[in-house]
Amino acid sequence: MNFSNQNVYIKVKDHSVSKENFELLLDEELQLLKTYPQPELSVLGKYYESEDYISHTDAKRSLFEKIYHLVKSYSLKKKVGIINSYHANKGSLLDIGAGTGDFLVTAKAQGWDTTGIEPNVNAKNLAISKGISFQNSIESIENEQFDVITMWHVMEHVPDVTHQIKELKRLLKPNGTIIIAVPNYKSFDAQHYGIFWAAYDVPRHLWHFSKTAMEKLVSRENMKLVKTLPMIFDSFYVSLLSEKYKTGKMNFFNAFWIGFRSNLKASTSKEYSSHIYVIKNH
């Protein structure tokens, strides 16, 4: 990947935990952004130490969290519906970054043989209490391949994207499917909020993807991006957080309006707030 300190796309701040400043460097060929500097693995964990890191909790303390979990319940069914559409006979499913396990619980109930990977101990323990089985890491899986591998808003967190995609290829059955969901920095809400766009989420998000980036990265491993799907609700969720970072409060009306405009513009531009990428072996 070709990054240089002079090739700064935007300078952004960690609004939620450390308040530190970071740069996003652009690889022009891939249209991929890299957070700079990237924290060492030994200290990366401290940037996740926040009660507001909602994917690591089942809490429903506020109206925002209650809405989040209501939308999440609907989205889980849609996500399982996507993998069912490619594998009607079900099979083995690996979810990397399984969080509190709700996606795998939903998939398991529909007949999938499920395995998770989750580095956060608290989230993992919650998932185990729901009956989910885990592997320690993708590297610890040596002699097994899966029909479907999913990464729901996880690829942006991994230290080495190229290595991760190689490992996904290794763990995928020849006729298998990879599903990757990530934010899209070319969306309208990203352009509107700029330095306050919550989905930059530095430095927890080490990478920031475009459709071009995803297509080129998977093609390097002789895989093909076969479909790109929108995540309609993400524009509203991200806009709510972005309003909070920009103004200090969640401005539901403004956030809904920007989320709506983002989806409306994306119906033509196809640049949604987040995308789901469906990837197959060539």
Q: Domain containing 173: what range?
A: 28-37+59-281
The neighbour count for residue 65, using CB atoms within 10 Å, is: 15
User: Looking at residue 49, what is its pLDDT?
Assistant: 78
- Indicate whether this model's pTM tops 0.85: yes
253 inside domain: yes
Residues 6+ away with beta carbon under 8 Å from 60:
66, 69
Cα separation values, 30 from 57, 127, 156, 161, 218, Å: 34, 36, 15, 13, 11
Phi first, then psi: what are they for 94, rounded to 5°?
Answer: -115, 125
User: Looking at residue 45, what is its pLDDT?
Assistant: 85
Going by the DSSP 8-state scheme, the letter that residue 97 receives in this structure is S
User: Looking at residue 54, what is its pLDDT?
Assistant: 47
Q: Token pair of 212, please?
A: 């071009």
Q: How many independent structural domains does the chain possess?
A: 1
Residue-wise pLDDT for 89-136, tens only, equals 999 999 999 999 999 999 999 999 999 999 988 889 999 999 999 999
What is the distance of C-alpha 272 from the center of its chain? 14
8 inside domain: no
Beta bridge partners of 22: 12
Q: Token pair of 14, please?
A: 């960690």
Whole-angstrom distance, CA of residue 148 vs CA of residue 112: 10
Whole-angstrom distance, CA of residue 229 vs CA of residue 159: 25
User: Looking at residue 63, what is its pLDDT?
Assistant: 64
CATH of the domain at 93: 3.40.50.150
48 inside domain: no
231 inside domain: yes
157 inside domain: yes
User: Looking at residue 105, what is its pLDDT?
Assistant: 96
18 inside domain: no
Which ranges of the chain have pLDDT less than 70? 5-6, 51-69
17 inside domain: no
151 inside domain: yes
